[in-house]
Chain A
């Protein structure tokens, strides 16, 4: 698994619960080191082990944890660069939803060996969508529930999200878009690069 993914989990724990908790996770997962390198490749088995360790140490249900991580990735100020990259997907939330199919390809454009879960948006009716997520790590549907919730907030849209379970390794998230301009949302200027 790409170091960026492992590093993101580490940053989530450190930023939300503090460095000592992460050190405990690293010990529990038997990493043999404390810090993940973002630009490095780790054995695929490491990531599920780390996620289980985080769930144990923080005493949080696994699915809930995945959703928190997804939410953190978009909304935490330390990861502003990532939020901006996601906002490049579309000018409004609907546009953004339709850009999700391209997300793994977009990620690969930036970092050629970064493999993200396969995503497919389906449109079921006006303002009713579902997102199919197929990834190597169980719970990626919950992760994207968190991402979508935070992105809806970012765009100022009001949505109702529900994880519909998994079938044949594909997790489905149902998305009901109640209002596109519910709040102002957070701004996004093309020319204001996050440092």
Chain B
């Protein structure tokens, strides 16, 4: 075997992606993997610099300049589609003027194995490319498993929020929290007042000044309510601008009326949000648990709602106690909540 043929054999096994150039930069020989870059044609006889664009170091356009780069890392781009980036290193060969270039796909190997249908046999046995491809797949599989865990955790978080008893915007109890509190009060046979309150003109604030202003108003209203009630009372936001107050140990209805009136007055004061004035007011209706022989949540909420409706029809910014007359007036036309049992006052 000639020394040149032996050299080819050695290089084919140890660096299958090599090229041998003559002094003029013509390709004399291409290793089996290098040849795969041009699947339909032979590389032999082509000009190296016509096939590969040297990105770094810059301005290598002659075989002489190319020879100067011996030993340093070259960044190349193949001039044919899909224009993959390659890494390379050049050394002068044993024969005069000869240059040997070893190529590598670098990080683009993940795409290159698909582009050129490469197999394990296209890489030197010591090459870590196969291990790298293995790692890429193993990491994606592990990452996918982690992503699934994150998705499930996210789902659990949403479910937990749904089960939460507080309203995240105002910190008040939410509808669920109020329902629970109300059920407890009824079960314990406590004497309490249920006040249904909603904001007037809130929609206008939301529509003209934006949701941020609306949210701010709700937070301020919540603060006012919490300031006006006593520590053993419960305030809940049960809908967009609807609130339910559960006021405990009420001996005198007058105290309830005072609380309602103070809240209504303070809510009606202008609220300043980012230099703009938000004007809302509120209306309220209350029913007292002591007026029922059989107390149900639906009944209380429905009757408080009837009283609230009365406040609104009397020109808003009012507080009304429920009475049987009111229901007779509303004539059953307005049945905000289902009635479970006939009222017995």
Binding site for B on A (CB under 8 A): 4, 37-40, 81-82, 84-85, 88, 91, 106, 109-111, 189-194
Task: State in angstroms the CA–CA spacing of A37 and B148 once bound together.
Answer: 9
* Contacting residue for A109 out of B113, B138, B149, B152, CB 8 A: B138
* Contacting residue for A193 out of B120, B140, B145, B148, CB 8 A: B140
Cβ-defined contact, A39 with B137, below 8 A: no
Task: State in angstroms the CA–CA spacing of A191 and B133 once bound together.
Answer: 9
Looking at A40, A189, A190, A191, the one whose CB has the most chain B CB atoms below 10 A away is A190
Task: State in angstroms the CA–CA spacing of A130 and B138 once bound together.
Answer: 27
- Nearest Cβ on chain A to B286's Cβ, whole angstroms: 47
| Chain B residues, Cβ within 8 Å of A82 | 141
Cβ-defined contact, B118 with A190, below 8 A: yes
- Nearest Cβ on chain A to B280's Cβ, whole angstroms: 48
| Chain A residues, Cβ within 8 Å of B204 | none
B141 (CB) vs chain A CBs: closest residue: A81
Cβ-defined contact, A37 with B149, below 8 A: yes
Cβ-defined contact, B114 with A39, below 8 A: no
Q: Beyond A91-B119, A190-B118, A192-B114, is A38–B148 a contact (Cβ under 8 Å)?
A: yes
Cβ-defined contact, A88 with B130, below 8 A: yes
Cβ-defined contact, B139 with A110, below 8 A: yes
Cβ-defined contact, B142 with A111, below 8 A: yes
- Nearest Cβ on chain A to B281's Cβ, whole angstroms: 52
B115 (CB) vs chain A CBs: closest residue: A191
Task: State in angstroms the CA–CA spacing of A91 and B123 once bound together.
Answer: 12
A90 (CB) vs chain B CBs: closest residue: B120
Q: Is the interface of A mostly helix, strand, loop or mixed?
A: loop
Cβ-defined contact, B117 with A110, below 8 A: no
| Chain B residues, Cβ within 8 Å of A85 | 134, 137-138, 141
Cβ-defined contact, B113 with A190, below 8 A: yes
**Known contacts A38-B149, A88-B134; 10 further A-B pairs (Cβ under 8 A):** A37-B152, A39-B145, A84-B137, A91-B121, A110-B135, A111-B142, A189-B119, A190-B113, A191-B115, A191-B118
**B146 interface residue per 8 A CB criterion:** yes
| Chain B residues, Cβ within 8 Å of A88 | 130-131, 133-134, 137
Cβ-defined contact, A190 with B119, below 8 A: yes
Looking at A39, A91, A111, the one whose CB has the most chain B CB atoms below 10 A away is A39
Cβ-defined contact, B137 with A193, below 8 A: yes
Q: Beyond A91-B121, A190-B119, is A40–B149 a contact (Cβ under 8 Å)?
A: yes
Task: State in angstroms the CA–CA spacing of A190 and B131 once bound together.
Answer: 11
B133 (CB) vs chain A CBs: closest residue: A190
Task: State in angstroms the CA–CA spacing of A160 and B111 once bound together.
Answer: 38
Cβ-defined contact, A91 with B114, below 8 A: no
Interface string of B58-78 (1 = CB under 8 A from A): 000000000000000000000
Task: State in angstroms the CA–CA spacing of A99 and B140 once bound together.
Answer: 22
* Contacting residue for B137 out of A4, A38, A91, A194, CB 8 A: A194
| Chain B residues, Cβ within 8 Å of A191 | 110-111, 113-115, 117-118
- Nearest Cβ on chain B to A158's Cβ, whole angstroms: 22
- Nearest Cβ on chain B to A9's Cβ, whole angstroms: 15
Cβ-defined contact, B146 with A39, below 8 A: yes
Task: State in angstroms the CA–CA spacing of A190 and B152 once bound together.
Answer: 32
B138 (CB) vs chain A CBs: closest residue: A110
Task: State in angstroms the CA–CA spacing of A84 and B113 once bound together.
Answer: 15
- Nearest Cβ on chain B to A177's Cβ, whole angstroms: 20
Which B147-171 residues have C-beta < 8 A from chain A?
148-149, 152
A38 (CB) vs chain B CBs: closest residue: B145
